[in-house]
Structure 1
Amino acid sequence: MQDGNSKDRFVILGQEIKLGESAVIEMEVAKLHTRNSLSIPIIVERASCEGPVLLLMGGVHGDEINGVAIVRDLIRKKINKPTRGTVICIPVFNVFGYLNQQREFPDGRDLNRMFPGTAKGSLASQFAHKFTEEIAPLVDYILDFHTGGGNRYNYPNIRCDFKQTEMVRLAKIFGAPFVVHSNYIAKSIRETINKMGKSILLFEGGKSLQLDQSVVKCGVEGTLNLMKHLKMQDGEIKIEEEPIVLKDSKWLRAPYSGIFEPLVNNGCRVQRKAIIGRISDPYGEFEKKIYAPFNGYIFGVNTAPIVYKGDAIFHVSVEENTHVD
């Protein structure tokens, strides 16, 4: 293991944390122009007995506030204090983006497309490299909390690769309304962690720069379910409704430019040819209805009031044996 870890020794960023101990460690991100250091706090809680190492991280994209709030609440409610094993919390991963309320790093790069990174690459690449070398080798499981980018609102869902049956099982235990198949994206955290032989689930809920308490609640309760399954917390797993499994999905795009109005609720199931939205011009000269091209569940909606032709407007599951126009 990294940093000289063994079965009875846990060392992270050069600091040893013994069984039953807690620590807040500062991970340096970069030197600022003022010669000050910019760092992110990493909160580590170890139980008095050995067990899995679980990493909970938010804010990989700096404008995705719900993920930050989920990890915050897990700490605030002391759920991150395990009865067995170790929990590492990184509430704000992309501290630059968080401070600027922007998705990207200051160099304009998407941090989640820079992994595993390099020691002498761009600022984002160097940061990804530090995480890959010094944090990732220590963990067994990762929950990575995200939201919809831009004006897209994602109904709470857990994403994983359906070719990995164990990951699907863990996703269902989490208990979000939807479990969505998602291939690994090149140079993402998920792909890097998967190549290291570790387990990672990606939670999506809400949209950027908006705090949604229902999304935060779902993320907190899902994490607690997973920790109970891993025997890191006591109690019974609680799932209000059996998650709906979505094996295939497609973004529907605006057929016209204009004022966009969704006419269905996010999270609902729609039938083929049902009216799900409309697009009109500002002069009252045309109004075009948008029809569902197939049966499926809507789990992502563009909330922008004005769209251009070709903009993604609805994320819809594609049910098996249904026709796709």
Structure 2
Amino acid sequence: MDFENENKVIVIGGESVAPGQNKLLKISIDRLPTGTLIDIPVYVFNSKNPGPILLIQAGLHGDEINGIETVRRMLTDKLFAIDKGTIIAVPILNIFGFIHFSREVPDGKDVNRSFPGTRKGSLASRIAYHYLNEIMHQIDVAIDLHTGGGQRHNFPQIRYTQEDDFSAELANVFNAPFTFSSKLIKGSFRNAAYLMSKPTVVFEAGESMRFDDFSITAGINGILRILQHFGMVKSTIKNREELKKTIHLDKRKWLRAPTAGMFIPKVLNGSQIQKGAILGSVSDIYGKKTKLIKAPEDGYIICINHQAVVNQGDALFHIGAILN
């Protein structure tokens, strides 16, 4: 992928960031019912030297705090001190969801199903519209940080768009424990980016409203590997050759609760499993009936639902497998 031979002036919210400047900017979105103005904070680190314009964003779902903490730590530790190119870092995209401890905005709509959005639409649609028009047309590539939702804990995994070879390359560089392609979803940020020819990877790790240091560290190291890949920062972590290689998964499947009851997992997230292995159980509250959940094939556990009381059909384990 070719980049400009000189860095551009970044313009967001009517403010400019020239090459060699770093600024905290804001995109005004709306007001709370109290009249308090809500802004999306946007950090811009614009080097004097030419290179890619990389967007690193978190909090598209307001309750997915691991990604927010990942960006915060990188800001605090000054890990965005770059030698070339530009970083646009957005710690919290969905401010409304964040302050309400919610995935969605107050009207229940999902910003990550609202792209490209409209200027006079719903709150989620307007957030998507302003974000796309203020930021997305200026970037070259993007890293979107997420967690599992609804007490589902995702073992660190990087997802890319199968139709986009450059996103697959970025996923390999990121080198999360698991890597796989996932389908584009209409209205998602990644779909909008793909339609704009902006290669994007999605890092999923941990669960909503719960910090997981292993996931946060994996996210920081993955981002640093991409920055090093582009020559934007000096090497600060082990070379990829010294690290355990990511596991490429060819297919995935959810295992669901065979009945309602108390769910007890019996394996660790990220574990390798063999066909027929007992992964967990669902029991009635009277101790009379227990149904075992067994692995349908060899593979890996990439997500576990931490909900203790489940209904029949609830997703319990997400497993990934490698085709022979």
Pairwise same-fold verdict (TM > 0.5): yes
Which stretch of structure 1 is more off in the superposition, 271-280 or 29-38? 29-38
Corresponding residue number in structure 1 for 2:310: 307
Any unmatched runs of 5+ in structure 1? 1-5
Corresponding residue number in structure 2 for 1:234: 234
Q: Which amino acid aligns with 1:300?
A: C
Corresponding residue number in structure 2 for 1:107: 107
Deviation at 1:48, TM superposition (A): 2.0
What secondary structure does 1:167 align onto? helix
Matches for 1:52-91 after TM superposition, within 5 Å:
52-91=52-91
C-alpha separation in 1, matches of 2:163 and 2:118 = 29
Deviation at 1:49, TM superposition (A): 1.2
**C-alpha RMSD over aligned residues:** 1.4
Matches for 1:205-244 after TM superposition, within 5 Å:
205-235=205-235, 238-239=239-240, 240-244=243-247
- Which of 289, 296, 300 aligns to 1:297? It is 300
Is 1:248 the counterpart of 2:251 in the alignment? yes
Q: Is the 8 A contact 1:281 1:287 kept in 2?
A: yes
Q: Which amino acid aligns with 1:157?
A: Q
Corresponding residue number in structure 2 for 1:139: 139
Which stretch of structure 1 is more off in the superposition, 143-152 or 27-36? 27-36
Q: Is the 8 A contact 1:225 1:237 kept in 2?
A: no
Deviation at 1:227, TM superposition (A): 0.3
Q: Is the 8 A contact 2:274 2:295 kept in 1?
A: yes
* Shift in CA distance, 8/125, structure 1 to aligned 2, threshold 3 Å: closer
Q: Is the 8 A contact 2:178 2:249 kept in 1?
A: yes
Q: Which amino acid aligns with 2:303?
A: G
Q: Is the 8 A contact 2:27 2:42 kept in 1?
A: yes
C-alpha separation in 2, matches of 1:144 and 1:72 = 14
Deviation at 1:237, TM superposition (A): 5.7
What secondary structure does 1:83 align onto? coil
Corresponding residue number in structure 1 for 2:93: 93
Q: Is the 8 A contact 1:229 1:237 kept in 2?
A: no
- CA-to-aligned-CA distance 1:194-223 (integer Å, 9 cap, x gap): 100011110000000000111110000110
C-alpha separation in 1, matches of 2:163 and 2:55 = 23
Corresponding residue number in structure 1 for 2:286: 283
What secondary structure does 1:127 align onto? helix
Deviation at 1:8, TM superposition (A): 4.4
Q: TM-score with structure 1 length normalisation?
A: 0.94
Q: Which runs of 4+ in 1 moved over 6 A?
A: none
C-alpha separation in 2, matches of 1:37 and 1:60 = 19
Paired residues in the alignment total: 316
C-alpha separation in 1, matches of 2:320 and 2:28 = 41
C-alpha separation in 2, matches of 1:267 and 1:34 = 45
- CA-to-aligned-CA distance 1:137-156 (integer Å, 9 cap, x gap): 01111111000000100000
C-alpha separation in 1, matches of 2:253 and 2:273 = 14
Corresponding residue number in structure 2 for 1:3: none
What secondary structure does 1:216 align onto? helix
Q: Which amino acid aligns with 2:168?
A: V
Q: Is the 8 A contact 1:151 1:303 kept in 2?
A: yes
C-alpha separation in 1, matches of 2:7 and 2:309 = 56
- Which of 267, 274, 277 aligns to 1:274? It is 277
Deviation at 1:162, TM superposition (A): 2.9
Matches for 1:9-28 after TM superposition, within 5 Å:
9-28=9-28
Q: Alignment identity in percent?
A: 39
* Shift in CA distance, 78/113, structure 1 to aligned 2, threshold 3 Å: same
* Shift in CA distance, 261/107, structure 1 to aligned 2, threshold 3 Å: same
What secondary structure does 1:126 align onto? helix
Q: Is the 8 A contact 1:48 1:84 kept in 2?
A: yes
Any unmatched runs of 5+ in structure 2? 1-5
Deviation at 1:97, TM superposition (A): 0.7
Q: Which amino acid aligns with 1:154?
A: N
Corresponding residue number in structure 1 for 2:3: none
Corresponding residue number in structure 2 for 1:264: 267
What secondary structure does 1:187 align onto? coil
C-alpha separation in 2, matches of 1:245 and 1:308 = 32
